[in-house]
């Protein structure tokens, strides 16, 4: 059983953080809430998402798995407006999710979850940590998109730095410790990442919300932030691009 009512903004938030990486996801649903973990087709990035049942207006669920086509769900949600409360009801007999928006009822077929993997979140020892306002890092990423397809992130005990270099132009965003929410680093650390992936991960975070970044040398980066009025939490892992000598 799965029956829930949720504000459209919360459901759209789940779609916004998931759909840039994967089209098909397995929702693990229980009485406490919903979780999903998925790796993108290129095996460059991973998402780990948890939504507490308190993020919903109403929520009743047994332990079940639902295979969701995120493109299809996104198309349905485009029919909603801000403030709408969306009803979700799992029809076990037909294996469909019934989505109700006002007087509109959409019955969405589900994906068989039998062949969908359960990736494990790697236990990474990333020594540097920075907590940054989303508005600051978004500005640097947007500027970097205009000059290169990759960016470098550097952290030391005093600064967080984002740097992108193209054929002719460069972008540099340097934030000293006193402009960050938090900075912990015992050394100099640097890794290089795809701007496309990094940008998609940062975009869903609202301007004054915090993004937590964990970094090492040529290691994956881990990004964390809250969604659904802090009743949900997102973790991303993004593999580094290794610089050629």
> Within a domain: residue 121?
no
Task: State how many domains the chain has.
Answer: 2
Give the percent of the chain with pLDDT over 70. 99
Looking at the structure, do residues 13 and 67 belong to the same domain, yes or no?
Answer: yes
Is position 139 within any domain? yes
pLDDT on residue 242: 73
Q: What pLDDT digit, counting tens, does each position of 164-207 carry?
A: 999 999 999 999 999 999 999 999 999 999 999 999 999 999 88
Please give the backbone phi and psi of residue 162, each rounded to the nearest 5 degrees, phi first.
Answer: -120, 130
> What is the average pLDDT score of the chain?
95
Burial grade of 118 (CB within 10 A; 0-12, 13-18, 19 or more): exposed
Give pLDDT, residue 243.
63
Q: How far is CA 55 from the centre of its chain?
A: 17
Same domain, 90 and 191: no
Average pLDDT in the 149-153 region?
Answer: 96
The more confident residue out of 118 and 184 is: 184
Q: Given pLDDT bands bounded at 50, 70 and 90, which one contains residue 245?
A: very low
The predicted pLDDT at position 224 comes to: 97
Query: Is the C-alpha dihedral spanning 18, 24, 29, 35 positive or negative?
Result: negative
Structural domain boundaries, residue 136 = 128-238
Considering the domain architecture, whether residues 77 and 151 belong to the same structural domain is answered as: no
Does position 101 have pLDDT exceeding 50, yes or no?
A: yes
Beta bridge partners of 129: 184, 214
Residues 27 and 60 reside in one and the same domain = yes
Of 65, 80, 109, which marks where a domain is finished? 109
Q: At a CB cut-off of 8 Å and minimum separation 6, what does 47 contact?
A: 17, 18, 21, 22, 36, 37, 38, 234, 235, 236
Give percent of the chain with pLDDT exceeding 90: 93
Any domain includes 120: no
The pLDDT tens digits for 42-71 are 999 999 999 999 999 999 999 999 999 999
């Amino acid at each position: 059983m799965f029956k829930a009512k949720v504000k459209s903004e919360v459901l759209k938030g789940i779609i916004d953080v998931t759909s840039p990486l994967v089209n098909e996801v397995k929702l693990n649903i229980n009485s406490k809430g919903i979780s999903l973990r998925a790796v993108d087709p290129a095996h460059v990035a991973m998402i780990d998402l948890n939504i507490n049942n308190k993020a919903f207006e109403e929520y009743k669920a047994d332990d079940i798995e639902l295979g969701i086509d995120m493109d299809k769900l996104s198309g349905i949600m485009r029919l909603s407006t801000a403030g709408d409360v969306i009803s979700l009801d799992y029809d076990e007999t037909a294996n469909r999710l019934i989505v109700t928006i006002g007087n509109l009822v959409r019955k969405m077929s589900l994906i068989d979850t039998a062949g969908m993997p359960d990736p494990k979140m790697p236990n990474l020892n990333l020594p540097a940590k920075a907590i940054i306002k989303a508005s600051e890092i978004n500005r640097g990423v947007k500027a970097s998109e205009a000059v290169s397809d990759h960016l470098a992130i550097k952290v030391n005990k005093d600064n967080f730095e984002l740097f992108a270099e193209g054929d002719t132009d460069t972008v540099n965003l340097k934030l000293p410790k006193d402009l960050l929410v938090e900075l912990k680093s015992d050394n100099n650390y640097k890794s290089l990442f795809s701007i496309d992936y990094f940008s998609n991960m940062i975009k869903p975070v609202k301007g004054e919300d915090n993004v937590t970044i964990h970094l090492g040398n040529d290691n994956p980066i881990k990004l964390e932030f809250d969604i659904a009025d802090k009743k949900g939490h997102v973790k991303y892992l993004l593999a580094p691009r290794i610089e050629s000598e």
